[in-house]
Structure 1
Amino acid sequence: MAKLNWGMVGGGEGSQIGPAHRLGAGLDGEFAFVAGALDHRPEQGRDYGQRLGLDADRAYGSWQDMLAGEKDRPDRVDLVTVATPNATHFEITRAFLENGFHVLCEKPMTMTVAEGEELVHLANHTGRICAVNYGYSGYSLVRHMRAMVARGDIGKVRVVVAEFAHGHHADATDADNPRVRWRYDPAQAGVSAQFADCGIHAMHMASFVTGQEVERLSADIVSGIPVRTLEDDAMVNFRMDGGAVGRLWTSSIAIGRQHGLAIQVFGETGGLRWSQEQPNQLYYMPLGQRLQVIERGEGNLSPEADRTSRVTVGHAEGMPLAFGNIYADLAEAIRARKDGRTMDPAANLYPRAEDGLRSMAAVFAVAESGKADGVWVDARPPMFR
């Protein structure tokens, strides 16, 4: 079976996220890395692309050059990953969708709700895939957690608690470091810092696992380092459309926390908890019974978990493999469209443009509520109200 052609915008040399995408896309042999515009500096981007193995004529100096060079090729890329600075996501994603490419965009998908709604409409109009890289939803046991909730193993969900807290921006003497400062600058980051950066991962995880969407929320946001205009810590209470109550804490000033993404779900007949720093174990407590530890890699967990477990039980799987599961989902979706068939339902879990839109609506809702001392606000995008 021929590989699908894959290209990347952004993710250049020294990028934090670029290597994870390249590892993930190449994991299963589904995608061939054939084109890229990897740096905003044309010469550096072309040079790095060729060092990664791209042909000289497909190592582009800009995303505009890549779009022009790829759109009429008979062997053009099947999927474009957008891994550029946040403010450029919308423009680049829109341009490639308009020209018939499938797109995987890094989060946040856009900087405004209106831009998010435009991309949802555009993806629906063109029939192209517009996916958003909530890559943590690719972990095998996260998918098993979702399957357990869906099949009723813990009964009706009552409460979901999500966290994404780290301490890597806690040093006040480092607040003027350009690599840190931009994250708290409204001109570059928008209306939110920590919630838009990390909190939306935790909120997406809550929706992904429970199968419920956030309807309204109340937020308490603070700048623990006072010179910051935007928040570095937020506590968000929310209500979901299936009746679940949500609690979310996100912080960049939690000294002692390293990554800190975790989720707990409590239902009528049981509870579940999982942490991204210990991704091989899912803790399950049935009502009135003893705690059970579910190990990643055990046989016959669920189709969603079995499909996405890559190495034998007892060995660690990490973020690039979770990204690989998102790419495997997308490969199955693209091939199903090419073949005119229904895709494997266990693979139909990649985050959509609708997820990116809901996240952006939540970002603005958190900012609005936080400025109004926690007033409850509608967290839904206008098109979903």
Structure 2
Amino acid sequence: MAKLKWGMIGGGEGSQIGPAHRLGAGLDGAFEFTAGALDHRPDAGREYGQRLGLAEDRAYGDWQEMLAGEKGREDRIDLVTVATPNSTHFEITKSFLEAGFHVLCEKPMTMTVEEGEEIVKLAKSTGKICAVNYGYSGYSLVRHMRAMVARGDLGKIRMVKAEFAHGHHADAADADNPRVRWRYDPAQAGVSAQFADCGIHALHMASFVIGQEAERLSADTVSCIQSRELEDDAMVNLRFDGGAAGRLWTSSIALGNQHGLTMQVFGENGGLRWAQEQPNQLFWTPLGGRVQIIERGEGNLSPEADRTSRVTVGHAEGMPLAFANIYADLAEAINADKQGRPIDPAANLYPRAEDGLRSMAAVSAVAESGKADGAWMDARPPMFR
């Protein structure tokens, strides 16, 4: 089968996220890195793209040049990844969808709920994929958690507890560090900092695993470093549309925590616990039984887990492999569309524009609730109420 052609906007030299995308997209050989506009400095972007192997005429100076160059080609790219600053996501994603390209957008998909609703409608009207990179949902055992919940192993889900708390912004002396400062600046980050940056990953994973969407929430937000306009810590109480309750803590001042993404699910018949820093083990405790350790790579777990286990049992699974599973899902979806066949159900798990929209509605609700001393807010976007 011919490789799909893939392009990237952003993710240039020195980028935190660019290498993970390039590793993930290239892992299975389904995508060929064909085009890119990798830097806000046109000459630097063109030069870096060519160093990565792009042809001179497809190493573009900016996304507008890339859009103009690609949409007229017979061998145009099949998928574009948008990995630019948050405030640019909406305009770039909208423009490429309108031109008939499939898009994978970094989170947050947009800066406002209204923009998110526009992207959802546009993806439906064009028939093009708009995926959002909640890449941690690509981990094999996260997908096995989802499968266990879906097949009823835990019974009715009572509670989900999610955390994404790190300590890498705990130094008040970083107030003028440009790599940190923008995250807490409303002009660049919007209405939320830490919840919009990390909390939405935890919320998406909770919804992904239990198969329920956040309906209402109450938030306590705080700027522990007083010079920050936006929050660096948030505790959010949730009620999901399937009856589960949720507790979510996200922080950037939790000294001693490195990445800090963890998930616990409690049902009437058992509980699950998983941590992204130790992704090879899933702890399962059936009601009345002992704790059992499920190892990634064991045979016959679930189709979703077996399909996404990349290395043999006992070897560490890393973030680029989780990203690779998102790209593998998208390759299967694009090829299924081209061939007029159904998508493999075990691959039909990539995060959609609807997930990005729900995240923005939750961000807005957290910001409003935090200002209102924890008042309960509707967490749903208007078009889903």
Q: Which moved more, 1:94-103 or 1:174-183?
A: 174-183
Describe the SS at the equivalent of 1:355. Answer: helix
- How far apart, in 2, do the equivalents of 1:29 and 1:111 lie? 33
Describe the SS at the equivalent of 2:263. Answer: strand
Q: Paired residues, what number?
A: 385
Determine whether 1:256 maps to 2:256: yes
- What displacement does 1:72 show? 1.4
- What displacement does 1:176 show? 1.9
Q: Which residue of 2 aligns with 1:313?
A: 313
- How far apart, in 2, do the equivalents of 1:80 and 1:223 lie? 36
Q: Which residue of 1 aligns with 2:74?
A: 74
Describe the SS at the equivalent of 2:7. Answer: strand
Deviations 1:273-322 (A, max 9, x none): 10000000000000001100000000000000000000100000100000
Q: Which residue of 2 aligns with 1:275?
A: 275
Q: Which residue of 2 aligns with 1:47?
A: 47
Deviations 1:128-152 (A, max 9, x none): 0000000000000000000000000
- How far apart, in 2, do the equivalents of 1:72 and 1:357 lie? 30
Conservation of the 8 A alpha-carbon contact between 1:106 and 1:132: yes
TM-score, normalised by the number of residues in structure 1: 1.00
Describe the SS at the equivalent of 1:92. Answer: helix
Describe the SS at the equivalent of 1:283. Answer: strand
Determine whether 1:237 maps to 2:222: no
- How far apart, in 2, do the equivalents of 1:308 and 1:199 lie? 24
Instruction: List structure 1 segments (4+ residues) > 4 angstroms apart after TM superposition.
Output: none
Q: What are structure 2's unaligned runs of at least 5 residues?
A: none
Describe the SS at the equivalent of 2:163. Answer: strand
Amino acid across the alignment from 1:359: S
- How far apart, in 1, do the equivalents of 2:120 and 2:126 lie? 10
Describe the SS at the equivalent of 2:153. Answer: coil
Q: Which residue of 1 aligns with 2:5?
A: 5
Amino acid across the alignment from 1:169: H
- What displacement does 1:177 show? 1.2
After TM superposition, list the pairs within 5 Å mapping 1:136-175 onto structure 2: 136-175=136-175
Q: Which residue of 2 aligns with 1:357?
A: 357
- How far apart, in 2, do the equivalents of 1:204 and 1:221 lie? 19
Conservation of the 8 A alpha-carbon contact between 1:192 and 1:363: yes
Conservation of the 8 A alpha-carbon contact between 1:12 and 1:48: yes
After TM superposition, list the pairs within 5 Å mapping 1:59-208 onto structure 2: 59-208=59-208
- How far apart, in 2, do the equivalents of 1:225 and 1:72 lie? 50
Deviations 1:160-186 (A, max 9, x none): 000000000001112221111110000
Amino acid across the alignment from 2:185: D
- How far apart, in 2, do the equivalents of 1:99 and 1:146 lie? 35
Conservation of the 8 A alpha-carbon contact between 1:169 and 1:175: no
Amino acid across the alignment from 2:156: K
- How far apart, in 1, do the equivalents of 2:166 and 2:152 lie? 33
- How far apart, in 2, do the equivalents of 1:61 and 1:185 lie? 27
- How far apart, in 1, do the equivalents of 2:254 and 2:334 lie? 41
Deviations 1:76-133 (A, max 9, x none): 0000000000000000000000000000000000000000000000000000000000
- How far apart, in 2, do the equivalents of 1:255 and 1:74 lie? 52
- What displacement does 1:65 show? 0.5
Q: Which residue of 2 aligns with 1:302?
A: 302
Q: Which residue of 2 aligns with 1:383?
A: 383
Q: What are structure 1's unaligned runs of at least 5 residues?
A: none
Q: Taking every aligned residue pair, what percent have the same amino acid on both sides?
A: 84
- How far apart, in 1, do the equivalents of 2:206 and 2:320 lie? 21
Conservation of the 8 A alpha-carbon contact between 1:332 and 1:344: yes
TM-score, normalised by the number of residues in structure 2: 1.00
- How far apart, in 1, do the equivalents of 2:5 and 2:324 lie? 15
